[in-house]
A and B are shown apart, each in its own frame.
Chain A
Amino acid sequence: MISSMSAEPSSLIYMVAGESASASITSNIFNSLLKYNKDLDLEGELAEKWEISKDQKTITFTLKPNLKWADGKPLTSADVLFTWQAVINPQTASPYASDYALVKQAETPDERTFRVTYDQAYAPALDSWAGLQVLPKHLLEGQDLHSTTFAREPVGSSYYRLGDWKHGENITLTRNPNSVLGPANIEKLVTRIIPDNSAQFLELMADNIDSMGLDPIKYSRIIPARPELKKRLNLYKELGNSYTYLGFNLKHKPFDDVRVRKAINYAIDKQEIIDGVYLGLGINIASPYKPGTRWSNPDLMPYPYNPAKAKALLKEAGFVDTDGDGILERDSKPFTFEIITNNGNKEREKTAIFIQRRLKEIGIDVSIRSIEWASFISRFIKTGDFDVVILGWGLGLDPDQFNIWHSSQQKPGQFNFIGYNNPSVDRLLEQGRTELDPDKRMKIYHKFAKVLLEDSPVVYLSAGYGLTAIHKRIQGIINPIPPAGVGYDSQKWYIPEPLRRNEISTN
């Protein structure tokens, strides 16, 4: 099966690379202790079972028997311990270190047992162990994870092993005969590196790649309009794991005023953005959680489009058009600001244009600037030098959003860059982290989302669908798509013999 990506991973040790390009390859090579099943509940992957102590501070994992690395060496609890040590090692400087640094003590009573003890109960703990890809101690001990050649020729335990990596061209994974979870059906996964999106799509049209992520226009306009593509490709649509929002810099006037934030929220027609930008392939949200999951509060309703109410709120906040130029003023200063977003994301740029138009109608003059990602983050987000930003947040499976909304997380480079400070939200976030009972946790996060919506520090714009085209020769894909996504259980996909690509091409 051949797929494509636009950027090459920098390293195939995910804990060091920390980027999506790396994850999409390493998830086929490495295993974690736990994983999410198709309904997004945790189950064992390398672990056969796990126990949580009564005081909720200790977790004991028992590994499955006879686990092996792809090179045939046994996989034991020592490897898990080694991986944990490597990740928290300051020398490794892993972006994920903070998740595992809360572990007070980790020990391996025997080859199949791994036990961690926390200072205090930590609700996202199991989620974090589902995210840690276990590395082989016997190949990495004593090496620097940043410079080791292992990052380019990794050995894992999952369905596939690295066959060949031609830099800048492709990465080939071949079936791992020692896979701890049994063999995969498809023998080879090839990921071609094609930086330009249009070139990727041309390759898909020419039947040179089997799967590709699509934008709404390709999904609902182009492919349906071309019979030869429709005949060959299956299209999949799933609710993505992220949402787009308009965030205010709460330290800048007038965004410190909740009436102004609400007014802008009312003035933006979210349905129009979903229709115009996502061609209907997105949904309106009212809380920062994936709709339909338990963490998302079903009682909350998004702000409706109501320009009259927006104008009234702005008037209340002191904004009136005194000089009759169509732009509101307060203290004889016109209400104007700049929306910034990162370039390369066409949907966000288009969204900004829609917002610009709607805000103009209620008398706010908006300009747009889209900036290349790295300088966007360092020059504007980190320094807090922005008024309003359009960005997206990825949604983890654990509801903890301490990093994003807690008032303590406002240092340069931290994620509460909008400067949100609400003591009751702080309290709820702290409670949510230590509460282990899922039902009580759910109530805490429902309440948190309600306060957040009321306060409107960001305007939720939409949660878009992930759109994928996969060639019909690939069979065994679960349909309808399970909550875990189209790629779930991809080791069970297969290509019937007559449909396989000819290996020895004639030209």
Chain B
Amino acid sequence: MLKYLIKRVLWMIPMLVGISLISFFIMHLAPGDITNNEAAFNPKASEESRQKLREMYNLDKPVIVQYGLWLKRMATLDFGNSFASHQKPVFWQKTDKEGNVTKGMIQEALPITLLINVLGLVITLTLAIPLGVIAARNHMGWQDKSITLFNFIGFSIPGFWLSLLLMYWLGVVNDWLPISGIHSLNYESLSTWGKIKDTLSHLMMPVIIPSITGLAGITLFIKNGMLDVLQQDYITTARAKGLNEHRVVYTHALRNALLPLITIIGLSIPGLIGGSVIAETIFAIPGMGKLFYDAVLMRDFPVVMGVLTIGAALTLIGNLLADIAYAWADPRVRRGVVRN
């Protein structure tokens, strides 16, 4: 087990280098550079001042040198400072000579995106597990079919359209939920309980809408897993032994059907992070997706590279955790019997 773990962790290094290479390659498809934003198009800007900016950011060096410099810094988790918002470090906070702390852009954005996705995952699972079980127990019955249809409709709606419809209905027509942002303007003056309530009500729509979209895959997975397990010998044995059907389904079968779900959750991380771009843009949430999208439009190379790398690293860590959890939960793997 330990050997397996070490091997897995070591594998992450070449993976990260590969990821950084792909990211870097994509960055250099970009014809523009930092000096081409709105500022540079002001009639008053001169070409020399833009040249100065280029030198300041090493953009005049050959690509390979830029990659080398970048990789060297990445090894120490230093993703540099943003081009577009000159002052801010990309990844983590830095302290200057006077002791002023400047927070990193990813440091600020990541917790928000993580919070939304974790809450979303919790909601998805709470809905998907019962739905999946019901569908499996009534395989091909009307319950199964309506669950499938409902799930697929959720999956097929363009998310931003559903978001805008709900924002209008819940926020404008009915004033039930805040429309955008993550805090009310009077957030600071609220009690602790009020703050929690305020944040939760702001997060309601951004969390639930992607969950509806994500429900289909997970429900189907659980349903199929259950179908699979319910036909296994040990379930038949348990039933034959006269065990209560409820217990058979919910303790024996479900536990085994849920096992592979761990891996699926690990694999879904990049999709969740990528999907956050549109939701965060609509709901005005300063998370990773918004950060990335802005950086792409501004040609803010360090931020684009930073977000891609951190996003991928999160996925790798997520997969690793999923594998460990799987190994821990499945006695066969724990004993090193199976697993490629």
* Chain A residues with a Cβ under 8 A of chain B: 2, 7, 10-11, 16-20, 90, 93-99, 146-149, 151-152, 166-170, 172, 190, 192-196, 198-199, 202-203, 205-206, 208, 372-375, 377-379, 382, 393-394, 396, 401, 403-404, 411-415, 503-505, 507
Contacts and interface: CB of A to CB of B under 8 A. Distances in A.
B49 A199 contact: no
B32 A11 contact: no
Interface stretch (B143-151, B207-215, B266-274, B291-299): B291-299
A98 B38 contact: no
8 contacts: A94-B49, A199-B282, A202-B167, A206-B172, A377-B32, A382-B36, A415-B43, A505-B186
B233 interface: no
B43 A393 contact: yes
B32 A375 contact: yes
B242 interface: no
B180 interface: yes
A151 B86 CA distance: 9
Contacts of A95: 39-40, 42, 44-46, 49-50
B286 A373 contact: no
B37 A374 contact: yes
The 3 closest A-B pairs by CB, nearest first: A168-B286, A18-B39, A378-B32
B175 interface: yes
B56 A147 contact: no
B279 to A, nearest CB: 11
Contacts of A11: 85-87
Contacts of B167: 199, 202
Contacts of B85: 10-11
A11 B298 CA distance: 14
A379 B36 CA distance: 10
B100 interface: yes
A266 B311 CA distance: 54
A147 B87 contact: yes
Contacts of A393: 43
Contacts of A208: 178-179
Contacts of B284: 168-169, 192-196, 199
B182 interface: yes
B290 A168 contact: yes
A199 B96 contact: no
A2 B184 CA distance: 12
Contact of B283 (A167, A170, A199, A413): A199
Contacts of A412: 47
Contacts of B41: 377
Nearest to A395: B43
Nearest to B184: A505
B100 A206 contact: no
Given A374-B297, A375-B30, A379-B31, A206 B171 contact: yes
Contacts of B181: 169-170, 192, 194
Nearest to A151: B87
Nearest to B168: A202
Interface string B27-63: 0001111011111111111111110110010000000
Given A10-B84, A146-B86, A379-B32, A198 B286 contact: no
For A2, A202, A404, which residue has the most chain B Cβ atoms within 10 angstroms? A202
Contact of B179 (A193, A206, A377): A206
A2 to B, nearest CB: 7
Contacts of A190: 185
A10 B86 contact: yes
Nearest to A402: B43
A149 B102 contact: yes
Contact of B87 (A2, A152, A372, A374): A152
Contacts of B286: 167-169, 193
A172 B167 CA distance: 25
A438 to B, nearest CB: 21
A378 B38 contact: no
Given A149-B100, A206-B175, A378 B52 contact: no
Contact of B40 (A16, A205, A413): A413
Contacts of A199: 164, 167, 179-180, 282-284
A436 B31 CA distance: 42
Contacts of B30: 375
Nearest to A502: B186
B78 interface: no
B81 interface: yes
Nearest to B108: A167
Nearest to B285: A168
B183 interface: yes
Interface string B176-207: 00111111111001000000000001000000
B281 interface: yes
For A94, A95, A372, which residue has the most chain B Cβ atoms within 10 angstroms? A95
A195 B280 CA distance: 9
Given A95-B40, A403-B43, 11 more contacts: A18-B38, A90-B52, A149-B102, A167-B108, A168-B285, A194-B284, A202-B180, A206-B175, A372-B297, A394-B42, A504-B189
B180 A203 contact: yes
A196 B281 contact: yes
Contacts of A192: 181, 185, 284
A2 B43 CA distance: 31
A199 B86 CA distance: 28
Given A93-B53, A379-B31, A2 B84 contact: no
Nearest to B85: A10
B290 A195 contact: yes
Contacts of A413: 35, 40, 47, 50
B71 to A, nearest CB: 23
A385 to B, nearest CB: 10
B31 A503 contact: no
Contacts of A196: 180, 281-282, 284
B209 to A, nearest CB: 13
A92 to B, nearest CB: 9
A392 B231 CA distance: 69
A51 B299 CA distance: 45
Contacts of A168: 108-109, 284-286, 290
A148 B32 contact: no
A20 B38 contact: yes
Nearest to B82: A10
A280 B201 CA distance: 42
Given A195-B281, A415-B43, A503-B189, A19 B171 contact: no
Contacts of B96: 147, 149
A194 B171 CA distance: 15
Contacts of B298: 374
A170 B185 contact: yes
